[in-house]
Amino acid sequence: MSRKLLRTATAVTAALTLASALTACDASSTESKSGEKVVLVYSADGLKGEKGDGWYDKVFADFTKKTGIEVKYVEGGSGEMVQRAVREKTNTQADVLITLPPFIQQADGKGLLQAYAPQGADKVNGRDKDADAKWTSVVNNYFGFVYNKKELPEAPKTWEQLLDPKFKGKLQYSTPGVAGDGTAVLIKSMHDFAGKEPAMEYLKKLQANNVGPSSSTSKLAPKTDKGEILVANGDVQMNFAQSKSMPNLGIWFPAKEGGAPTTFALPYAAGLVKDAPHTENGKKLLDYLLSEEAQKLVSEVGGGFPARTDVKPTDANAVELTKLMNGVEIFEPDWADIDKNLTAYVDAWKSATGS
């Protein structure tokens, strides 16, 4: 089963959420306030709970309790985080970078990561980690869509159904080339429609119903839950966690008419930042994120899938997630092609949709 990655693309102007193991903090103050007993994480959004009840909230607090090392946290889109780290290369701030594909690969290509195989990395599937130990998946995840269960008793089944005029102004997906899950819309549509041109032709038609651009995928779920929109894109881990406090939120996977529902893996991958100010603390955090203790909480607390193949949770969330994925075909994108041609694909989308 594929477990590659992806999440927010090129840098955007949206403000970054700054938090420190659950408390807001300026990255530049990391050392001055806490000396060397700190580690700074730059991460794609989705694993920190809006109410302080996410996987990051739990494991960061546990890590600090065990080690005395305070976790500082900066959240944004995947591409956003990579671009921020690039800008800081001459004055490195982050110790650990966690993002989705193809942006973790881009981070490596830009010379941002140093090799480190965390304890437990030998239990991670080879497809879910870099052969040179530049990054390792810590939470597995899948691309998906959400819908409002109150207004739509049944989830849509196909891409074609979304062209129905009843979805005009009631459908929204995050912006490809800005949001990772938005870029995932391109990847999945190109797969399901068997090529770039037919996918762009479809997305051109879909634009008639699209509310408009959104730099943040996570903001679409609350809008869907409230009925402001009826359908949006997302990902399983984030939306499953959100559904615990959003009762009208349902998860589904579009199929091409006549085909099966499909998805692909979007794991959160973590790497040690090159020339990090707190390298040893970064290594300790990576070790802890892949520990059995932390991995067993991925489904129970985070609503995701463990990265370690030897951790097989049986909690209620794990059972529900397994049922959710039943009957869904999982394909593996050609990440090398996407990394090489992402700009061209986004440009094609802009041209097709007039965005």
**pLDDT tens digits along 235-279:** 999 999 999 899 999 999 999 999 999 999 999 999 999 999 999
End-to-end CA distance of the chain: 34
Q: How far, rounded to the nearest angstrom, does the alpha carbon of residue 26 sit from its chain's CA centroid?
A: 23
Mean residue pLDDT of the chain comes to 89
pLDDT digits (tens, 9 = 90+) for 330-350: 999 998 899 889 899 999 999
Closest CA to 133 of 115, 108, 111, 114: 115
pLDDT digits (tens, 9 = 90+) for 109-164: 999 999 999 999 999 999 899 999 999 999 999 999 999 999 998 999 999 999 99
Q: Which residues of 93-130 are buried (b: 16+ CB within 10 A; e: fewer)?
A: bbbbbbbbbbbbbbbbeeebbbebbbebbeebeeebbb
Q: What pairs with residue 40 in β-bridges?
A: 72
Q: Check: CB of residue 23 under 8 Å from CB of residue 352.
A: no
Closest CA to 23 of 33, 35, 36: 33
CA distance 331 to 266: 11
Q: Check: CB of residue 12 under 8 Å from CB of residue 80.
A: yes
- The reply to whether the predicted model has a pTM over 0.95 is no
Mind giving me the DSSP string for 117-132? --TTGGGB-GGGB-TT
